Chains A and B, each alone.
Chain A
Amino acid sequence: MKKSISTLLSVILMGSLAMSGCSKNTGSSTEKKVDANAPVKLSITWWGSQSRHDYTNKLLEMYTAKHPNISFQATPSGWSGYFDKLSAQAAGDTMPDIMQMDYSFISTYSKNDTLADLTPYVNDKTINLSDVDTNLVDTGKIDGKLTGLVLASTSLAITYSPEVFKKAGLAVPTSAWTWADFEKDMLQIKAKTGTYGQSKIDDISTFPYWVRQYGTNMYAADGTKLGYDNDKVYIDYVNMLKRLQDAKAMPNPDQWAQISAKGKEAEPVVTGTAGSTMDWANYAVIVSKSNPNLKLVTPPVNSTGTKALWNKPSMFFSVAKSSKNQIEAAKFINWFLNDPEANKVINAERGIPVSSKVRDSLKASLTQQQKDMFDYADISISNSTKAAPPEPAGVAEVTKALTDTINSFLYGKTSATESAADFRTKTNEILGRNK
């Protein structure tokens, strides 16, 4: 027995000693002098729908055709679960060389030291940013390190179907429309056509916009608590959702789960069974093959008329700090950002390209949806104020708390006041861990 105990203890000791060195991964930097033409396999991941996967894969082939020594291993997926997977890969030291990154998550990954600082590659002109607006570039700078290269910009938009509005006897919405106008329109669409007024309201992107109408951001500047103090902000929002759902002008959460399971191209606004949807400005471009007639308008404003939109970096490319191919990754990103041929294929599906030269080169061949999107960019900028800082770490949990508390109210389990308070408590607890 004694023997077993001491064996046990030494095993535990050994184990803990071995594991105590669980520190951040020691990423290899670019010390290795690699032959420029040695074969390199770049692993790359991004989120999107099938159309994005298709053209991006084509792009990878194009690049390999130009640089035969570079090949790619692509592992794209949908948005849902994308960052769970990325986190798992970060934890397992198996992060892809190139990752599509989102503004909501870039803080988390930068602060965890899993992303490479790309400043050296900008300085030595491997990546050419001379045609990109500096403000936009800076959105990818966290704590002084450039960990994300912005690919495109976008902003929130209501994408609507003029046909459905016409069928309901409504004039098309304008930038001046208020939430009261919006509700009226949605209810009328339901009454006159029997279909949904709005495919969905995506709380996760809409609620930050809603909060900004009150002059503040959803998260406090230091990222340790909620940015708004008066729960009425939350209560007004969820009450509106309830009114729309009770009138069946919007699907309930269960119905929406079923709808969204069929993919973006099958959403009601695309198939003519809803008047509008709230999404990013490139939504119409994404679904243009299924429905080329959708139009964009800025989201409604509240009675104070506060401009609450913001010019959002739609997505970044980041490079894993552990990547052994950082130079080649940087070269690829540069090509992606600046090459006119590449951007013809991309066709602004990821948003408005950041390089002014690219925008100019595309102008001649834009489809109607793309023209609309480019025009919308100008309109939304004139309705925008300064963007919020990137979301703090813990945003995944806060998002879940938002959805849970809102659904709890919509299912009738809690009152609006209770849900608002619950959301505040939960969020502050989650963000409080960032202190």
Chain B
Amino acid sequence: MEANKKSKSFIFHLSTILLGLIMIYPLLWLVSSSFKNNSEIFVNSYSLIPKHWDIVKNYSSGWKGIGGVSFGTFMWNSVIVSVIGTVGGVLSSVLAAYAFARIKFFGSKFWFFCVMMTLMIPNQVMVVPQFIIFKKLGLINNLAALIIPWVFGSAFFIFLTVQFIRGLPIELDEAAEIDGCNKIQIFTKIIFPLVVPAVITSTIFSFYWIWQDFFQPLIFMSDPKHFTVSLALNLYLDPNSNNNYGGMLAMSVVSLIPVVIIFLIFQKQLVEGVATSGLKD
């Protein structure tokens, strides 16, 4: 019995570790290749230990960027778009979620239905008219065009937060109301502090969704000075602007660092958030 348990445990750990290695290999490959020199990336492709270390060369040449725009500029653009889009978007979503979950107002069912509908509409449907609207407003090539689609809230976060709020007992609201709070105060004093987990989850998701977004920058940005990191990496793929593979991979690593850091710090909240988001009827 003891041996059985031990061997089961061994098999378990062995298989999970193996699978884990396979899963993590692409990322390990990325980091180790960013340390190799350009030709070794192809010649010695699968080895995770570089023969020639070119860390400084790859990272500094990659950081120089493309066409005179440094990678730092790209990172900064991504930061602006992601932070403003996230802060605005999560705030808008939470406010709307509170209204849908706790306030009986005329048309709320209809508007909530609209929220759900937007989940289904791919934004590619709207991208041509959005392009034209932004063009008329003179916002093409302006970071605002990347921020605006997010800053008014997203269906996913509204939905997530609504479900969360619905899980809070209505007695809390009623008690506060008896105490003389109006709806806004109920929100700020009672509800908001309790939905912090949902807010954190939304914030994290929002940040890395915006950070990694490629389609919208591709359409709305045409001047490299205003490119975000995802669009900039695409530039590195053009062999006539750049055949510095080491630099490209180095910057790919750099682009993933913020996302990974946030993941590591907020792992617990993320996992809980994802897990509970699926447990509704």
Q: List the interface of chain A (C-beta within 8 A of B).
A: 1, 4, 18-19, 22, 47-50, 53, 74-81, 85, 88-89, 91-94, 260-264, 266
**Is A261 touching B131 in the complex (CB atoms < 8 A)?**
no
Q: Which residue of B lies closest to A79 (CB)?
A: B240
Which single residue of chain A is at the shortest CB-CB distance from B111?
A4
Tell me if B197 counts as interface (CB < 8 A to partner A): no
Given contacts A75-B224, A77-B238, A263-B243, whether A94 and B141 have CB atoms under 8 Å apart is: yes
Q: Are A262 and B239 in contact (CB under 8 A)?
A: yes
Q: Which of B132, B219, B240 contacts A263, CB < 8 Å?
A: B240
Q: Are B131 and A91 in contact (CB under 8 A)?
A: yes
Among candidates A19, A76, A78, residue contacting B132 with C-beta atoms closer than 8 Å = A19
Chain A to chain B: the 7 pairs with minimum beta-carbon distance, closest first = A78-B240, A92-B140, A263-B243, A78-B238, A263-B239, A89-B222, A261-B239
Asked whether any CB of chain A lies closer than 8 Å to the CB of B136, the reply is yes
Smallest CB–CB gap between B245 and chain A, Å? Answer: 9
Query: Given A1-B110, A75-B224, are A93 and B135 neighbors across the interface (CB < 8 Å)?
Result: yes
> Complex: how many Å from CA A93 to CA B131?
11
The residues of A that contact B235 with a CB separation of less than 8 Å are 77
Chain A residues whose CB sits within 8 angstroms of the CB of B136 once the complex forms = 18-19
Closest CB-CB distance, B36 to chain A, in whole Å? 16
Residue of B nearest to A52 (CB): B240
Is the CB–CB distance between B131 and A92 below 8 Å? yes
A47 adjacent to B240 (CB under 8 Å): yes
* A264 CB contacts on chain B under 8 angstroms: 240
> B107: which of A4, A48, A78, A85 is its contact (CB, 8 Å)?
A4
Is B68 an interface residue, CB under 8 A from the partner? yes
B132 touches A80 (CB 8 A): no
Q: Tell me whether A262 and B243 are in contact (CB under 8 A).
A: yes
CA distance A81 to B242 in the complex (A): 14
Specify the main secondary structure of chain B where it touches its partner.
loop
If A75-B67, A94-B141 touch, whether A260 touches B131 (CB-CB below 8 Å) is no
Name, among A53, A74, A92, A94, the residue most crowded by chain B CB atoms within 10 Å (CB to CB).
A92
| Complex CA distance for A74 and B241, rounded to whole angstroms | 13
A77 proximity list for chain B (CB < 8 A): 67, 235, 238, 240-241
Contacts of A88 in B (CB 8 A): 219, 222
Question: A88 to B239, alpha carbons, bound, how many Å?
Answer: 21
A261-B243 in contact given A4-B110, A92-B140 (Cβ < 8 Å)? yes
When A77-B67, A94-B223 are in contact, do A50 and B240 touch as well, CB less than 8 Å?
yes
Mark B217-241 against chain A: 1 for CB-CB distance below 8 A, else 0. 0011011100000000001001111
Is the Cβ of B222 less than 8 Å from the Cβ of A74? no
Are B240 and A92 closer than 8 Å at their CB atoms? Answer: no
> In chain B, what residue has the closest Cβ to A89?
B222
Residue of B nearest to A86 (CB): B222
Distance A50 CA – B219 CA, assembled complex (angstroms): 26
Contact residues in B for A48 (Cβ distance below 8 Å): 240
> Does B68 lie within 8 Å of A22, measured CB to CB?
no
Contact in complex: A91, B241 (CB < 8 Å): no
Q: CB-CB contacts of B7-40 with A at 8 A, as 1s and 0s?
A: 0000000000000000000000000000000000
Q: Which residues of A contact B140 (CB under 8 A)?
A: 92-94
A-B contact pairs, 13 of them (CB 8 A): A1-B110, A19-B129, A47-B240, A77-B67, A77-B238, A78-B240, A78-B241, A85-B222, A92-B140, A94-B223, A261-B243, A262-B243, A264-B240
- Taken together as a complex, chains A and B put the C-alpha atoms of A81 and B234 apart, in Å, by 11
Residues of B within 8 A of A91 (CB): 131, 135
- Provide the bound-state CA to CA distance between A260 and B240, in Å: 9
Give bound CA distance, A1 to B107, whole Å. Answer: 7
Q: In angstroms, how far is the closest chain A Cβ from the Cβ of B1?
A: 56
A78 pairs with B239, CB closer than 8 A: yes
Task: Give every chain B residue within 8 A of A47 (Cβ-Cβ).
Answer: 240
- A49 cross-chain contacts in B, Cβ below 8 A: 240
Q: How far is the CA of A74 from the CA of B242 in the complex (A)?
A: 16
Q: Flag B133-146 by CB within 8 Å of A: 1 or 0 each.
A: 10110001100000
Which residues of chain B are near A22, meaning CB under 8 Å?
132
Tell me the bound Cα distance from A76 to B240 in angstroms: 10
B135 in contact with A76 (CB, 8 Å): no
Q: Which residues of B have CB within 8 Å of A79? A: 240
What's the Cα separation between A262 and B243 when bound, in Å?
6
Known: A53-B67, A77-B67, A85-B222. 9 other contacts (CB 8 A): A75-B224, A78-B240, A80-B240, A88-B222, A91-B135, A92-B131, A92-B222, A260-B239, A262-B243
**Which A residues touch B223, using CB under 8 A?**
75, 94
Q: A258: nearest residue on chain B (CB-CB)?
A: B42
